[in-house]
């Protein structure tokens, strides 16, 4: 199949590319855009490590082809903090509540939670657990992540740090 021309706005910047139809959005972002914060943990749609926002919706970039993003806006983990490096409330809450260890699953969680809290600004604990159940983490036992999402939802992310 011949390559396809696409136009995608990635983290606010418009890009034009010519891509093979079978190139996944995840590989497009990682290899063509050099945005390697989008991680691949399974490539079959279960772990959530590759989650990005496609026109605002959280999607698994391993299950979407780059050509399907033609004309769309994509936000990756690199587009979540403010340009001066200040962490978003969700990112800050993960930091404050030990919501990450190896950090491999983290970009997917941050993106999923960002979309989840936008859609559920006042979630119950049950809704949070449900909302997180599409992302796998092997390091944290989800304890710090659950706390972080609660704190981000409540708008409290005071540093626990001493010193």
Partner 1 sequence: MDRTRGPVDPVRAAAARYAGARVARVEDPRLLTGHGTFVDDVVRPGMLHACFVRSPLARARITGIDVSEALAVEGVHAVFTAEDLNPGVHEPWYSLAGRDVPDSPRPPLAEDEVRFVGDPVALVVAADRYLAEDAAELVVVDYEPLPPVVDYVTARESAELVFPQFARNVLGELGGRPTTELAPVFDQAPWSVRETVYQQAYAPVPIETRGLVAEWSAAGGELTIWAATQSPHEVRLFCSRLLGLPEHRIRVVMRDTGGGFGQKAVVQREDMCVMLAALKVPAALKWIEDRRENLLAAGQSRHEHGDVRMAFDADGRILAASIDYVQDVGAYPVPWPVGPSMAVGMFFPGPYRVPEGTFSITSVFSNTVGRTAYRGPWQFESVARELMLDVAARRMGMDPVELRRRNLLRRDELPYTNPVGVPYGDISPLETFEQALGMLDYEAFRKEQERARGEGRFLGVGTCTYVEPTTAGMGVHGTEGATIRIEPSGKVNVYVSGGSTGNSLETTVVQLTADALGVDIADVHTIQGDTAITPFGGGTGGSRSGSMTAGAVAETAAVLRERIAAIAAHRLEAAAEDIELVDGHARVRGVPGAGLSLAEIAAIAYLQPESLPPGMPAGLEASGRYRAESMIILANATHLCTCEVDVTTGRVTLLRYIVSEDCGPMINPSVVEGQIAGGTVQGIGGALYEHLAYDADGNPVTGTFMDYLLPTAAEVPIIEYGHVETPGPGPGGYKGVGEGGAIGAPPAVINAVADALAPFGVHITRLPLTPESIVTLVRRARESRAAEPGTVPR
The footprint of ligand FES on residues 59-98 (CB under 6 A) is 60, 62
- Which of positions 47-86 make contact with partner 1 (CB under 8 A)? 47, 49, 76-78, 80-81, 85
Q: Does 21 bind ligand FES (CB under 6 A)?
A: no
Residue from 12, 56, 71, 103 that binds ligand FES (CB under 6 A)? 103
Q: Does 107 bind partner 1 (CB under 8 A)?
A: yes
Could you give the CA distance from residue 53 to residue 29 in angstroms, rounded to a whole number? 12
Contact assessment for residue 16 and residue 54, using Cβ atoms and an 8 Å cutoff = no
DSSP 33-94: S--TTS--S-SSSSS-TTEEEETTEEEETTSSBGGGGTT-EEE-GGGTS-TT-PPPHHHHHH
Q: Find which of partner 1, ligand FES, none residue 89 binds, CB within 5 to 8 Å per kind.
A: none
Work out whether 8 is an interface residue with ligand FES (CB under 6 A): no
Sole window of 4-12, 14-22, 74-82, 102-110 interacting with ligand FES (rule: CB under 6 A): 102-110
How large is the greatest C-alpha to C-alpha distance in the chain, in angstroms?
A: 59
Torsion of CA 22, 27, 33, 37, to 10 degrees: 160
Order the strands of the 73-75 sheet from edge to edge.
13-19, 4-10, 73-75, 51-54, 57-60
- Report, in Å, the least distance between residue 16 CB and partner 1: 21
Q: Does 115 bind partner 1 (CB under 8 A)?
A: no
Give the total residue count for the chain.
Answer: 163
Can residue 44 be called a binding residue for partner 1 (CB under 8 A)?
Answer: yes
Instruction: Note the residues at the interface with partner 1 (CB under 8 A).
Output: 20, 22-23, 30, 34-44, 46-47, 49, 76-78, 80-81, 85, 87, 91, 94-96, 98, 100-107, 110, 128-130, 132-146, 159-163
């Amino acid at each position: 199949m011949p390559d396809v021309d696409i136009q995608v706005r990635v983290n606010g910047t418009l890009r034009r590319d010519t891509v093979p139809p079978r190139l996944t959005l995840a590989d497009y972002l990682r290899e063509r855009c050099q945005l390697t914060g989008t991680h691949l943990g399974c490539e079959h749609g279960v772990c959530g490590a590759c989650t990005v926002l496609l026109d605002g919706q959280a999607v698994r970039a391993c299950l979407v082809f780059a050509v399907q993003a033609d004309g769309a806006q994509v936000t990756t983990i690199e587009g979540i903090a403010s340009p001066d490096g200040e962490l978003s409330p969700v990112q800050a809450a993960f930091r404050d509540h030990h919501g990450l260890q190896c950090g491999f699953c983290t970009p997917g969680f941050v993106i999923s939670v960002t979309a989840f809290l936008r859609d559920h600004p006042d979630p119950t604990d049950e809704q949070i657990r449900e909302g997180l159940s599409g992302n796998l983490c092997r390091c944290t036992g989800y304890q710090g992540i659950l706390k972080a999402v609660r704190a981000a939802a409540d708008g409290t992310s005071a540093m626990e740090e001493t010193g």
